[in-house]
Amino acid sequence: MGKPYASEIRKLSTTYRWALEAPIESLRSFLESSYDLPLLAVGSGGSLTAAHMAALLHEKTGMVSKSITPLELLSNRTSFRKTSILLLTAGGRNSDILTSFKYAATSEPRQLMAICTRTKSPLSNLAKEFRYARFLDFDVPSGKDGFLATNSLVALTTILCRAYQDVGSAPFTLPSNLIPEEGFYDIFNNLNSFLERKTWIVLYGGWSLPAAMDIESKFTEAALGQIQLADYRNFAHGRHHWLAKHSEQTGVIYFTTPEEEEIANRTIAPIPESIPLIQISTPYSGPVGALELLTKIFHFVKAVGDAKGIDPGRPSVPAFGRKIYHLSIPSEYIKETIPQGLKKEELTAIKRKTDNYHITEKEVLDYWRTAYRTFLHKIEDTHFGSIVFDYDGTLCDPGERFNGPPKVIVDELVRLLRGNIIIGIATGRGKSVRIQMQRLIPEEYWEKIVVGYYNGSDVAMLNDDLHPNKNASPDPILKEISEILYANELFKRVATYELRPKQITVSPTKTSVWHKARKILFDIISKNDLPGIQIIESSHSIDIVLSDVSKRSLVSIVEEMAGYLNKPKCALCIG
């Protein structure tokens, strides 16, 4: 099984250049929506290295992040509703990634995305069942990896770095020639004496973490040697004692970027000269250095494999290993415990309201169960003649923002309209919603759709092309706020704004300054004691509107329209 390892690493530079140009808009959108959330990056085998890279990149945005395996994800019984989850996989077909994706999707995290380096995978089919989940797949030009993760790993880590270039606070540039065609030759000094050792201690720090994790993965999977991992300071806490007791069987590999050079040199200096050392370094800082160290590992693994007579890309895998790989995770392991007297759908609804997966008090459960059943009975006993939908996040998921609702949603809207149900659409946006809906909904139904543009401040029928009306004079209060914002140089460095008749829309210049822009805006509003306004936040902007503006203004309008059609004057609001 597998491929010749040498043929795989000859393609690394081609894969890297391809990854520099690959389309990644869905990944950028996911990261922008996840910028102020903690992230769980999930991967197995070689893809776990990519998860470590994703976690490091996300931490640099200022948020907590963790790289975990699928089993660790499945072991988690807490709520993910305030978390982003990113799953990474080369083939998208092993049971671990499929089970963990389904578990994550049904747990309804705030943001969910999977990336696969092969198209038409089982994961691709599974992702289609969960419309709110983003999914990015592509075929790497090099084809499927051999036994070890190589080109798929370069592709995954490169596109992750590219995507974080736009949302991170510390800019960096990925050089087009980072991975040379001919490989690296500065990592083979002292290799002969090193190969005589059975155990290698691998020291790392900062951005060399992904490379350290990957060398442990590859050495173990290809049976090249035993690896002990430690960062430079954790090595100081007793792990050095192994060298004292097993110096004749142990060598040391240490990774350095410019940031770790001093601590690495000071740590290595006291180690006895009899112990062979190999330094794998990069002149690049940050994510660029992490990428170069990672690709140097691939060449180092080849050199060790050649010296030992092992092809890391085509090992002889025993039957028991294949059986272990193809095991599926028992359903009992992830089976949800449902409290006695509670139905599964009731527990799901309670979780959504409470963000608590561990309600055990009978009184609390009784309260929420009663509230759920009361609400359900009220819905079932009420006759509705109209429905008001929020647009973004309800009819239209973030990944569909520029194209509008998908066909499955449009078909349901048309079904309702055909039955003379009046539809209201509430949105913080303007004419882009009208254009999308006019393109998707047959014109014969436009007169049954009311749109509340700019958070309900401008209400009109879908067939009215004169709305939203941006030519009306702005409200005096909003005009005053606009002048204050224009005079604030600090604010203009991190945000842009657009003054409309009844709304000011503020957008950050880039995702990484979102929190700063928000803080400055709120400080401006607070210090100037501006009455009669309210602030409405979305995932991509902040709207300043008058205090009497509300998306709820659509409710009375659609109810009256339903009455004209002899339909019940009661509206169902969704979103």
pLDDT 10s digits, 450-463: 999 999 999 999 99
Q: What stretches of 360-448 adopt beta strand conformation (E)?
A: 386-390, 422-426
For residue 393, what pLDDT is reported? 86
Q: What stretches of 273-378 adopt beta strand conformation (E)?
A: 277-281
From the list 558, 557, 563, 570, the residue with the least C-alpha distance to 423 is: 558
Residue 316 neighbours by CB under 8 Å, 6+ apart: none
DSSP 3-state assignment of 205? coil
What is the number of other CB atoms lying within 10 angstroms of the CB of residue 533?
16
For the segment 525-529, the average pLDDT, to the nearest whole number, is 86
Query: What pLDDT band is residue 222 in, cutting at 50, 70 and 90?
Result: very high
Amino acid residing at 151? N
φ and ψ of 178, to 5 deg: -60, -40
Residues in a beta bridge with 424: 388, 450
For the segment 86-105, the average pLDDT, to the nearest whole number, is 94
* Arithmetic mean of pLDDT over the chain: 90
Say if residue 260's pLDDT is above 70: yes
Residue pair 423/439 in contact by the 8 Å Cβ criterion:
no
Give Cα separations from 219 to 201, 228, 403 (angstroms). 12, 11, 46
Q: What is the largest CA-CA distance in the chain?
A: 93
For residue 73, what pLDDT is reported? 93
For residue 209, what pLDDT is reported? 97
Residues in a beta bridge with 453: 458
Residues in a beta bridge with 546: 533
Give the ranges where 108-150 is alpha helix by DSSP (H): 122-127
DSSP 3-state assignment of 142? coil
Percent share of the chain, pLDDT over 70: 97
- The model's pTM: 0.87
What is the number of other CB atoms lying within 10 angstroms of the CB of residue 544?
25
Q: Please give the DSSP secondary-structure letter assigned to residue 109.
A: -
286: left (phi over 0), alpha (psi -120 to 50) or beta: left
For the segment 417-438, the average pLDDT, to the nearest whole number, is 94
Residue 541 neighbours by CB under 8 Å, 6+ apart: 428, 505, 506, 507
DSSP string, 448-499: GEEEEEGGGTEEEETT-TT-S--SSPPPHHHHHHHHHHHH-HHHHHHEEEEE
CA distance 277 to 201: 10
* Range of weakest confidence among 58-67, 118-127, 387-396, 467-476: 467-476
CA distance 47 to 276: 30
Give Cα separations from 259 to 58, 213, 269, 392, 465 (angstroms). 19, 18, 17, 43, 58
* Range of weakest confidence among 226-230, 242-246, 432-436, 526-530: 526-530
φ and ψ of 183, to 5 deg: 85, -165
For the segment 89-96, the average pLDDT, to the nearest whole number, is 93
CA distance 393 to 350: 20
**CATH classification of 5-323, choosing from 3.40.50.10490, 3.90.1300.10, 1.10.10.10, 3.40.50.300?**
3.40.50.10490
For residue 356, what pLDDT is reported? 62
What is the number of other CB atoms lying within 10 angstroms of the CB of residue 104?
26
Say if residue 361's pLDDT is above 80: no
For residue 467, what pLDDT is reported? 92
Domain residue ranges in the chain: 5-323, 344-381, 476-546
DSSP 3-state assignment of 404? coil
CATH top-level class of 476-546 = alpha beta
For residue 551, what pLDDT is reported? 85
What tens digit of pLDDT does each residue of 290-335 get?
A: 999 999 999 999 989 988 889 999 888 888 988 988 888 888 777 7
Strands lying side by side in the sheet with 542-546:
495-500, 503-508, 542-546, 533-537
What is the number of other CB atoms lying within 10 angstroms of the CB of residue 477?
17
Strands 503-508 and 495-500: antiparallel
CA distance 446 to 86: 39
Residue pair 284/191 in contact by the 8 Å Cβ criterion:
no
**Cis before 468 (ω within 30):** yes
Query: What pLDDT band is residue 181 in, cutting at 50, 70 and 90?
Result: confident
For residue 574, what pLDDT is reported? 93
Residue pair 521/495 in contact by the 8 Å Cβ criterion:
yes
Burial of 382 (0-12, 13-18, 19+ CB in 10 A): exposed
